[in-house]
Structure 1
Amino acid sequence: MYQSNQPGYSINIQVYCKQLNGLRYGQSYQLIVFTKDPDGVFQEFKVIDNYSNDHHVMFKFYGLKYLFEMVQPLKFDLYLGQQFIGQCQANLGEILGDKQRVFYLSDLMNQRNGMISFKTERSQENIQKIKFDIYLQLNNSLFQSLLSLFKEQQSLSLILYKKIPNKQVILQTEAKPKSSQLNWKKIETSFEILCDNDPLQSIFCEVIQHEGFNQQSLGEFEFWKYQIDKNVCLFNITNLNNEIIGRSMIDQFEYDIEGQFYNFIQQGTQLALIIAIDFTESNKNPYNNESLHSITKESQYLQAIEQVAKILMDYDSDKKVPMYGFGGVPRYLQNYNKHCFPLQGEAQSLEDIRRIYEFSVKNIKLDGPTCFNPMIRQVMKWAQEDLNANGNQYFVLLILTDGKYMDEDQTIMSIVDAGNLPLSLIIVGIGDSADLKAMDKLDGNNGLWDTLGRQAERDLVKYVHYNKVKNDQGELAKELLDELPKQLVLYKTKKK
């Protein structure tokens, strides 16, 4: 059995096999699941018992590790006793991200023998954790009246509970010496525990006063998940007489990014990849062996594109990948923008991407200069149109370039503008040019400001120099995509 030892997110999968020839209730089917090891060899992961009826056979297996930045091939072999029924191969990303994909079982003659569908869920140990702070501000007059001669023995704690079906205490904080202002930091739980992840189910918080062995309720406040999602964080504390005795603030919510990303993908968010390739003169003539677009060997451009595309295309139901060029003169177009022009053909597979790229390097005259902004603006337009149409796409623009871009101010301004759009930029530096250092500024890890003094609302750019990772298979995609789940989650949560 092979399971990666990298950090990941543990999930369970239900497998449904349907439309099988001769399917009858009570027959003893068996499903064997395989994962690929680092050498590309399928290793047996699980052998699973089943439940069957007259319509389908259902299997369930547990604890499969999900890693977004990797392609994770799976193979499913179905048997009836010793008889082989059919096989299906699929990437885990496809199972999670492609809601319209239909999977089939194929027999030994490669003929279809039934359909297979999947349902995934988070493993119990991966219930999405949340951390937050709670602050109390009690009315000063009330606070003074509550003090006793033994005030040094008085303390306050909080109880979080659900009322339905009866009072169920979820957690109780530590007791703190009584003060008119108190805070409890980094309370850890989950919305599954607090409210069954239901945004409309009430969550109650009761303020408890302790004095020696005695305790009494001072008051409580009520809140809902949907309020937290909308950044509503101030609540009145009321006593049994419905008098306001103070205010509370719930702040500094920290979500498990992997869990949030998984949830958005499960809810139908699609990752729409767009590829933009540098065709400027500095790449050198493709018929020259030293060219970064050399036709005599597989270029770094193509290697980088394929490493990223084979992951992101699993999360796009239509598999369409627009491919664009910049900085060149396409011989197959009459009217075009030199800094943002479509490549010839439509890509819906890795084979299409390779074919279109190879055609392009032979049919585009290298020119210049290098400009990013027109391409970014084009994708921003698509993102805004999808947003206006209530779509559920998150756009990922992959820019591959060998040198310094000439429109820095306009590019940074567009990135700042794009903070409220479903968009991320991933940039790959190709070759050895020292000018590639200019791309680090766009990465925005230390903040990004435009010439108008505006700061980017969120980090939506990741840059990697290909030469630094080219000797480690899969490392480029891991480096480029490691921030994408967080970028998507920050956009989605801020949008609310």
Structure 2
Amino acid sequence: MAVSLSISCENLLDMDAFSKSDPLCVLFMNTSGNHWFEIGRTEKIENCLNPKFAKPLVLDYYFEMVQKLRFEVHDIDSENCSLQESDFLGQLECTLGQIVSSRRLTKPLVKKDKTPAGRGTITICAEEMTDNRVVAFEVAARKLDKKDFFGKSDPFLEFFKQTETGWQLAHRTEVVKNNLNPMWRPFRIPMQSLCAGDVEKPIKIDCYDHNMSGDHDFIGTFQTSLSQIQQAEFECINSKKKQKKKGYKNSGVIIIKQCKVLWEYTFLDYIMGGCQINFTIAIDFTGSNGDPKFPQSLHYINPQGYNEYLAAIWAVGNVIQDYDSDKMFPAFGFGAQIPPTWQVSHEFPINFNPSNPFCAGVEGVVSAYQQCLPQVKLYGPTNFSPIINHVARFGKQALEQQTASRPPCGTSCSLCLSDSSKM
């Protein structure tokens, strides 16, 4: 099953001299040995020592496996700042089983030497992803309170789901600068994250004026439900201001211009619905690969019968072929001088049969490549646009042949330049 992890932290270390830390959480997994690989990362929150990250991290849970996780919190000072260049704020190592069994896990953050990272803590909330529906929003506001002395307000919204332990952040919009009548970009929230699939469950929406210091000014809030929110207007209420000011009406109006519940189909939904992936291979035969006679070349076939291109063909092809019913793969080359005219070609079948460039399975592609390599001269330049156009034409034909209930599905990788239908 798929599990969604929502993350928040408190009392993080302050690593910035003239402001607060700009935290981001990165999730790593270790399934064997000492090899950790990154699963995903949250958004960065500026100037905040108690962040609530809006972006959940989703991964697959396997009961029969021990899935070791490491949550690392970093202070990211610039957009191009790498994790190695960032300030490390602390980490937590645990298993996915621990999180799933507790549903809500709060632990202290530690440094890499296992000593406490100040008073920092991290909280992870787990939720099974069983609902593929998303809610598509278009939201605007009118006459929000002016909070900035030299300008208007820089408003943003936060959407919260009600849980047993309180309100849980589900989504944060972008900031609209200097505008009391903002229109936010359209966005989507998973229905499970917003209301656990219950259209009557309360939803809370807060509106803030963004400040670079991280201390955002509260404008107002309101509560509703998915059943009530569609194409409606809601008064944004600031309770403190309401108590102090006679004749107070609201701090602005939030306008739900559009709210639609949509199905967001997964890759598995398409496959189980009968979708086929048609795989086209394009191989780079330009001179930049190096002379195939020497070991430094990517095209050099070693005594064991392998090279970098063969390894890529086997790795990608073995995965894709399970989703292709006839397992006939068109394979092309580009950037080489080919016989008999020795003109440079950027679109030639590696089996030298233009009327039938298909190879039977991954084994057929490997065999055609091994026979093609000694017959061509690596040249250039690197121009794969003819291959892309070639595949696009047949992809378009396949799209036209599909019915509305059976949309095509594709994938892309470094080896497969594009998905195509069979010729």
Task: Tell me the TM-score normalized by structure 2.
Answer: 0.40
Decide which structure has greater helix share.
Answer: 1
